[in-house]
Structure 1
Amino acid sequence: MKNKILIGCSSYNNRYWKGIFYPDNMAGKDMFQFYYQYFNTYEFNGSFYKFPTIRIFENWYNKAPENFIFSVKAPKEITHIKKFMDCKNLLSEFYQVCELSLKEKLGCVLFQFPPSYTFTPERLHTIVQNLDLKFKNVIEFRHESWWNEEVWEIFLKNGITFCSVSYPNLPQTIFTQFPLIYIRLHGTPKLFYSSYSSKELLQIKNAICLKSGFLYFNNTASEAGILNALEMKKLMI
């Protein structure tokens, strides 16, 4: 991937998008095939709620066209329950499932920590020590204490990407110094609902247009996510 930003959404089966993006009468089972005619990446979040299997991901691999890329979110058992403690085997199994089933269609592996997970040097060390650095690892924090130079320096040294996140009450920094751009737009001020203005999208575009990476819209609890994604796609042409 050279100087290319892949744009997509963090969900696609969405009744709010009927008549706006999908045809009014489209069944849910046909939505992904319609989605990938417009977008060449998808952020798979279902794996956060249920540990994935090779069979499930192979099914997604077979459904997607050539040159389609999946980014995959790690299970909450790893990030929210165990918080990377005593989960080497779980992590190894998760990486293996992603690699064996999604193959060349695997993009980034996303680890999103809860807002209660605050920065400590020990936690930073635990994260880095547990990651398999041969993958494109992206870390999303939801507490402002992680926005600090020590974290960024160690991530850069180890080839880990710090997720740029648009989330209420967090810094809106667009990070461009890491191995890849990885942006998650969740909607602000109303989480998962709020739309981004044309001006906001243009500011993001200007910051990343000469870079490579991924941009996902997760403001999908309304029609905002798909409309923003379509507009951003036009801006990046």
Structure 2
Amino acid sequence: MIRSGIGGWTFEPWRGVFYPDDLKQKDELAYASRHLTSIEINSTYYSSQKPQTFAKWAAATPDGFVFAMKASRFCTNRRVLAEAGESIDKFLNQGIVELGDRLGPILWQFAPTKKFDPDDFGAFLDLLPKSHGGLALRHCVEVRNASFVDPTFVKLCRDRNVAICLSENEHYPLICDITADFVYSRLLMGSDDIPTGYAPKDLDLWAERFGQYSRGQVPGDLSPIDRTGPAEGPRETFVFFIHEGKVRAPAAAQELLKRVNK
């Protein structure tokens, strides 16, 4: 399945553009989750939430909907990643299990200044548990420094079934390797000047690429770091329209869904 969504659901400029004018703010998650197939929770990056908050979010969404979640910055914004164990435990124990089957991948995002240290990064990956509170966990890392364009980094992630986020941004490296049993992408180059966020031809291109990713194939027009990738096979694929062109991000996500669900 190819899931397409946005970052968060509370954004004033979406009111009257994505959300109907008469929609109550408390109903925005329910509305968004019925027009998109995934949403990346951003608030968990900045602060912890209460278990009842996660339960409320899960209850507002329909069957089959899945959240992705950004991990706390206190886990990743540190000099020595191998010392993040206590912060990771605190993040996981805030009540995320209340999401139940709505819990999708966890995104661990690193600062653009964070450079690749194989030993330290490998130690960090080893701190990420495969399950928590009876729920299987899936992990994705978003790295934003060119030093990660390294076959060793790809192998570290692949050996642990951790996805590398495909981040389309002019300032970050685009690492397109498949390293896990799912695919995670963040598209950050939209434009509010385009009603659909991305030009139709660009949405067509990304739809074709994600179709290949969902079959376990790196698109032929992209260049992986390690060409000896894993065996092909179906992979749940997550796509989020983030940051630039944010007002039009929901439209972009919906347009992509139309293309991949033909």
Q: Offset of 1:217 from its aligned partner?
A: 1.1
Q: Percent identity?
A: 21
SS of aligned partner of 1:39:
coil
Q: CA 1:172–1:16 in 2, change beyond 3 Å: closer, same or farther?
A: same
Q: Runs of 4 or more off by more than 6 Å in structure 1?
A: none
Other-structure match for 2:204 = 202
Other-structure match for 1:224 = 248
Other-structure match for 1:146 = 148
- Of residues 113, 118, 140 in structure 2, which corresponds to 1:116? 113
SS of aligned partner of 2:126:
helix
Distance 1:213 1:97 in 2: 26
| TM-score after normalising by structure 2 | 0.80
Other-structure match for 1:65 = 62
Q: Deviations over 1:122-154 (max 9, x none)?
A: 232222221113420000011121122111112
Q: Deviations over 1:184-221 (max 9, x none)?
A: 1122699xxx9432222222221221412211111366
The answer on whether the counterparts of 1:168 and 1:189 sit within 8 Å (CA) in structure 2 is no
SS of aligned partner of 2:77:
helix
- Of residues 71, 74, 80 in structure 2, which corresponds to 1:74? 71
Other-structure match for 1:49 = 46
**Larger mean Cα displacement after TM superposition, 10-19 or 34-43:** 10-19
Q: 2:181 matched to 1:179? A: yes
Q: For residue 11 of structure 2, what is the amino acid of its counterpart? A: N
The answer on whether the counterparts of 1:159 and 1:178 sit within 8 Å (CA) in structure 2 is yes
Distance 1:16 1:174 in 2: 32
Q: 2:34 matched to 1:34? A: no
| TM-score after normalising by structure 1 | 0.87
Gaps of at least 5 residues in structure 1 are none
The answer on whether the counterparts of 1:48 and 1:74 sit within 8 Å (CA) in structure 2 is yes
- Of residues 138, 148, 159 in structure 2, which corresponds to 1:157? 159
The answer on whether the counterparts of 1:156 and 1:179 sit within 8 Å (CA) in structure 2 is no
The answer on whether the counterparts of 1:41 and 1:69 sit within 8 Å (CA) in structure 2 is yes
Q: Offset of 1:161 from its aligned partner?
A: 0.5
SS of aligned partner of 2:83:
coil
Q: For residue 109 of structure 2, what is the amino acid of its counterpart? A: Q
- Of residues 99, 103, 124 in structure 2, which corresponds to 1:102? 99
Distance 1:174 1:204 in 2: 13
Q: For residue 251 of structure 2, what is the amino acid of its counterpart? A: L
Q: Deviations over 1:9-58 (max 9, x none)?
A: 11222222233321123332221121122112111010001023322212
Q: Offset of 1:115 from its aligned partner?
A: 0.5
